[in-house]
Amino acid sequence: MQKTFSFDQTLTVNRLGYGTMQLPGKGVWGPSVDPDNAVAVIETAIDHGVNFIDTADAYGPLYANLYLREALKQRPNSQVMVATKVGFTRQGPNQWIPLGAPAYLRQQVELNLMTLGLDHIDLLQLHRIDPNYPLADQIGELAKMQEEGKIRHIGLSQVSVAQIQAAQKIVPIVSVQNRYNLIDRKDEAVLNYAEANHLAFIPWFPLATGKLAQGEQLQAIAKRYNASPAQIALAWLLKRSDVILPIPGTSSTKHVVDNIAAQDIELSQADFDTLDQLGRQQQ
């Protein structure tokens, strides 16, 4: 199993990263109930080898970015690749409405730079494609900011293969962030396309195990590796494809360490196949 992924000749990351979505308040709205802990979780991830961190302006909004900025300030020598996203508006807890107006996307890229304390963004992903605006206008605005040196790489989120291909005609695309886990593999075709074209596939909601967590077979497999069901779910993703970069999120320092330990679990092919079949049965 390959433990790293290269975005370009100078930018290589450990495949198991961290996602900041769980750090803001309930409904991904407002500040954390414990801002110091939110920063400590990110610091703990970095201290345990995570160098790929996913965030978004919509998380809080902006609070997750501020916690990440403080953690990076406390770890000035860390070589962390920051991926963030633009393209959602927020009206309250658990409310998300896409907006792909080019001026809005530009504004949000600038706000990401300001709140993260960065002079450029390593990976900027369009959080959602807004059907109310031409794709060329949305991706084109990001391409302009790439030419300005504010964005290094561009990616997409929750898209189809056809949408990736359409975007690739406008600008190089290096990543896709779709929902994918052991029991939810509706986007298998997107993953296969990413694998064939060396695009990073960043699965959000990677820890889902559903009823499998209470099942005897998953419990037995986890016991063999002295692991939790969540760790086994992450190990399965890492073995599934070398282009998968899981970004499990948590607001617990203990859980972030537990999640990172999953990268050291080498599932046998037999256990991988068993999990694969069990997961398909639950879809």
Most distant CA atoms of the chain, gap in Å: 54
Burial of 249 (0-12, 13-18, 19+ CB in 10 A): buried
Q: How many CB atoms lie within 10 A of CB 5?
A: 21
Q: How far apart are the first and last CA of the chain?
A: 26
Cis peptide bond upstream of 229, omega within 30: no
Contact at 8 Å (CB) between 174 and 199?
yes
Nearest to 151 by CA among 72, 215, 212, 83: 83
List Cβ neighbours of 272 (8 Å cut-off, separation of 6 or more): 236, 239, 240
Catalytic site residue 225? no
List Cβ neighbours of 79 (8 Å cut-off, separation of 6 or more): 51
Q: What is the DSSP letter of 13?
A: E
Pairing of strands 81-86, 121-126: parallel
CA–CA dist 14, 6 (Å, integer): 9
Give the DSSP per-residue string, 17-31: -EE-TTSSSTTTBS-
CA–CA dist 280, 33 (Å, integer): 37
Q: Nearest 10 degrees: CA dihedral of 89, 90, 94, 100?
A: 0
From start to end of 99-255, where are the E strands? 121-126, 151-157, 175-177, 200-201
Catalytically annotated residue among 18, 59, 67, 193: 59
Residues identified as active-site: 59
